[in-house]
Chain A
Amino acid sequence: DIQMTQSPSTLSESVGDRVTITCRASQSISSWLAWYQQKPGKVPKLLIYKASSLESGVPSRFSGSGSGTEFTLTISSLQPDDFATYYCQQYNSYPLTFGGGTKVEIK
């Protein structure tokens, strides 16, 4: 199985900050990586697919990059609505696997 490791597990940031979250795969997954945002008590929301493709309706301050085993999610200027937990997920092969999550908190 492909293991996904996210770092850091928690981030304390301020509105307007640039935020970068890293996700590493235990083996190459090409660009078959998605990023989701989840707020407390809510359903996960797709942000990015195929490592860098922005889902329709997602603000352009979100971007993704990487391929192979190393990936990043960047929020260019953190907004109040962005405080949430972010998960990466590989869909190169079954079993699909998620990273452990990164909680972005208000500093």
Chain B
Amino acid sequence: EVQLLESGGGLEQPGGSLRLSCVVSGFTFTSYDMSWVRQAPGKGLEWVSAISASGGGTYFAASVKGRFTISRDNSKNTLYLQMNSLRAEDTAIYYCAKQSAGNHYYIDYWGQGTLVTVSS
């Protein structure tokens, strides 16, 4: 059974930093690209970032480029999202997501999410 378990969310002040983690199981982590997707309270889904299976390729939404970094530790089956210079508009549930196999990748599994609140 595929499982993705996020942690690291919480309350942070504007300008602060948080690091989200996602521990996965039930599939071969090293074979799949992974993404982070967020959802602000009462709003729609927004893709944030993705990383290739090897970790050699990273991709970001314009709204977070230069502030967020994505990484993975394939030896620990863990995905990370380092969030710096946080803003109020970064307040959201952050979902860790597994991408499908192939050369175009939809999201086939989602974690339960971790809530990030940016407020003074």
Contact = CB atoms under 8 A, between A and B. Distances in A.
B50 A94 contact: yes
B45 A43 contact: no
A96 B50 contact: yes
Given A43-B113, A94-B50, A1 B62 contact: yes
| Listed residue (B46, B47, B60, B106) with the most chain A CB atoms within 10 angstroms of its CB | B106
Nearest to B35: A96
A92 B47 CA distance: 14
A71 interface: no
A50 B60 CA distance: 23
A46 B108 CA distance: 6
Contact of A98 (B47, B60, B108): B47
Taking chain A's interface residues, is the majority helix, strand, or loop, or is none over half, making it mixed? Answer: loop
A59 interface: no
A87 B46 CA distance: 11
Contacts of A92: 104
A4 B110 CA distance: 21
B62 A98 contact: no
B113 A95 contact: no
Interface in A68-107: 87, 89, 91-92, 94-101
B111 interface: yes
Question: Contact residue range for chain B?
Answer: 20 to 34
A65 B34 CA distance: 26
A44 interface: yes
B95 A98 contact: no
B45 A101 contact: yes
A49 B104 CA distance: 11
A4 to B, nearest CB: 10
Given A100-B44, A101-B44, A43 B95 contact: yes
A98 B46 contact: yes
Interface string B92-120: 00010000100011111011110000000
A21 interface: no
Contacts of B11: none
B59 interface: yes
Contacts of A34: 106-107
